[in-house]
Amino acid sequence: MFLRHRLHLEGSRAVILVLGLVAFVVHLWLTDVNDYDHAAYWNAAQEVFKEGKDPYTDANEVRSTDEFVYSPPALLFFYPSSLLSESGSGLLMWVVNAVLALVLLAGLPRDLSSIATSPRFWPYATLYIALFGGIFCTIAFGQVNIVLAFFMWLFWRTLRQPGSSVLGGSSFIVGCALFKPHYAVLGLATLGRPRPRFWLGIGLTLTCSLLATVLLLPDGLLTSWLSNIVRPITPMSVAHNLPAGEEIPVGAPWNRSLASLGSRLLVPNRHVRPVLDAPDLAAPLVTIAVIGVLAASIATVVVSLRAGRAHADDHARARRTDHELSILALAAFLVLPTSWQHHTMFILPACLVALRDMVLAERTTRATRVLTVVLLLAIMLTGLTYERAFLGGVLFEHVFPTFMTLAVVALWAMFLAESWRMRAKPEPHHEIDT
């Protein structure tokens, strides 16, 4: 009887894993690649490494949505693009994204399943990644977010696994932050861990990055980036300047941040009609929401870190780390001025943690399980090629974008509540029943 149950379980896992891999390959094959964002990378590489020009828009020029916006050290990542044609560079980016997506498909479920209480987590997590819209949206636009999500995960697993390379993990979070500075907030999860090598790794990586910028790139790029790119698009700058007009498409339906939610609901803009024409309310409401999310996230993580010091169990520590980093990643997604559909790559690990601990965990109530599944499906469907085709008109402009943003808010709130519950009543670890 036991052998029959074991064979049935292993057979079911194998079927789901094969279906996931087939779904991923088919969807990858059907993804319409346009390299819209990659064109900005290639143009910047040509300007910097061949012409010695500043790739950032001058202060008196109109901002463009397809300009290069990452920090000067990030330009070094695109040096190979300066040696290739635009089509060749796009193909290279496609290959890198596809390979790293497969690495995440294999690695994320394996790592997170180490403390799972359900044998169904690994195959279901694999299937979820195989259908995750952020992956295919990133590949379609030739974006770099799969690479950065890979960096983020290497940092993530460094914190949750004792004995892993702290020095390497710190380097990867710096690498991610050089592209997306807001995600440096994940570094808060290291404050409760006395690991001097982590800070040494951050210092070495930043020093090497700055030295390479000074020695290998044209003069004045850092100043130009700070004044022309960073200052206009900080969360507070956008919040205080809603509506953002034509310069920053905050209200576009493919933006899923808190600022976008406020803009679509309250501010007339070129993308959608507001539900309520009240632009004067947008700035204060978005500001309050951004500050509230950041304050609640930081407070919860700090308390969790302090409580976690009293627990020596590796499984309990890993679960706390997963929840702390999930809270910070979801918060960063919400407070960014522009969180495009492909930015869901940065909350993919948090979605898998929710699948493990809020859907498949034995102690989960049916209501929590159903709600979490709905939220995870809304996030998974974001960015899929058929989203706009199937959700035309008001559904695409308002209903689904609003629901998806609220899904991230709800998932963030559930992680907050779970972290406080774990502090009050720590859960013992249960081995997977096979």
pLDDT, one tens digit per residue, over 16-31 is 778 878 888 887 887 7
Instruction: Give the mean model confidence (pLDDT) for residues 283-294.
Output: 90
- The owner of tokens 């995750």 is 132
Provide the b/e sequence for 324-357 (b: ≥16 CB within 10 Å): bbbbbbbbbbbbbbbbbbbbbbbbbbbbbbbbbb
Q: For residue range 403-434, list pLDDT tens digits in order.
A: 999 999 999 999 999 988 877 665 554 444 43
Does residue 430 form part of some domain?
no
pLDDT for 245:
44
- Whole-angstrom Cα Rg for the chain: 22
Sign of CA dihedral 370, 371, 373, 374: positive
Would you state the structure tokens that stand for residue 433, as one six-digit string? Answer: 């029943």
Q: By C-alpha distance, which of 151, 186, 161 is closest to 77?
A: 151
Q: For residue range 183-194, list pLDDT tens digits in order.
A: 888 888 877 665
Does residue 36 form part of some domain?
yes
Does residue 144 form part of some domain?
yes
pLDDT for 59:
41
Cα–Cα distance measured from residue 137 to residue 135, given in angstroms and rounded to the nearest whole number: 6
Instruction: Give the mean model confidence (pLDDT) for residues 217-231.
Output: 82
- Measured N-to-C along each axis, helices 400-424 and 258-266 cross at an angle, to the nearest 10 degrees, of 140
% of the chain beyond a pLDDT of 70: 81
**Encoded amino acid at 46, one letter:** Q
Q: Are the beta carbons of 78 and 44 closer than 8 angstroms?
A: yes
pLDDT for 250:
77
- Tell me: pLDDT of 325 over 90: yes
Interacting residues of 96 by C-beta distance below 8 A, sequence separation 6+: 146, 147
Domains of the chain: total: 1
Q: For residue range 126-150, list pLDDT tens digits in order.
A: 999 999 999 999 998 889 999 999 9
Interacting residues of 209 by C-beta distance below 8 A, sequence separation 6+: 73, 76, 174, 178
Does residue 142 form part of some domain?
yes
HSE (CB half, 13 Å, CA atoms) of 169? 23
Q: List the domain range (segments joined by +) for residue 224.
A: 2-424
Q: Which of 108-112, 173-177, 235-239, 305-309 has the highest mean pLDDT?
A: 108-112
Q: For residue range 80-126, list pLDDT tens digits in order.
A: 999 999 999 999 999 999 999 999 998 999 999 988 888 889 889 99
Q: For residue range 369-383, list pLDDT tens digits in order.
A: 999 999 999 999 887
User: Burial level of 56, CB count in 10 A (0-12/13-18/19+)?
Assistant: buried
- Tell me: pLDDT of 333 over 80: yes
pLDDT for 84:
92
Would you state the structure tokens that stand for residue 60, as one six-digit string? Answer: 């008196």
More confident residue, 228 or 292: 292
- Tell me: pLDDT of 330 over 60: yes
Cα–Cα distance measured from residue 386 to residue 422, given in angstroms and rounded to the nearest whole number: 39
Would you state the structure tokens that stand for residue 200, as one six-digit string? Answer: 């040494």
Does residue 135 form part of some domain?
yes
Q: How far is CA 102 from the centre of its chain?
A: 17
pLDDT for 254:
85
Instruction: Give the mean model confidence (pLDDT) for residues 146-170.
Output: 78
Sign of CA dihedral 383, 386, 389, 391: negative
User: Burial level of 222, CB count in 10 A (0-12/13-18/19+)?
Assistant: middle
252 φψ region: left (φ > 0), alpha (ψ -120 to 50), beta (else)? beta
- The owner of tokens 């000067």 is 72
- Tell me: pLDDT of 61 over 50: no
Q: By C-alpha distance, which of 279, 286, 280 is closest to 239?
A: 286
Residue 95 CB coordination number (10 Å): 10
- Tell me: pLDDT of 5 over 70: no
The shares of helix, strand and coil residues in the chain, as percent rounded to the nearest 5, are: 75, 0, 25
Mean pLDDT of the chain: 81
Q: By C-alpha distance, which of 275, 393, 387, 377 is closest to 341?
A: 387
**Encoded amino acid at 32, one letter:** D
Would you state the structure tokens that stand for residue 160, as one six-digit string? Answer: 């949750």
pLDDT for 407:
96
Does residue 433 form part of some domain?
no
Enter the pTM of the model.
0.88
Residue 46 CB coordination number (10 Å): 18
Does residue 434 form part of some domain?
no
User: Burial level of 392, CB count in 10 A (0-12/13-18/19+)?
Assistant: exposed
Q: Which of 57-66, 236-245, 279-288, 300-309 has the highest mean pLDDT?
A: 279-288
Does residue 373 form part of some domain?
yes
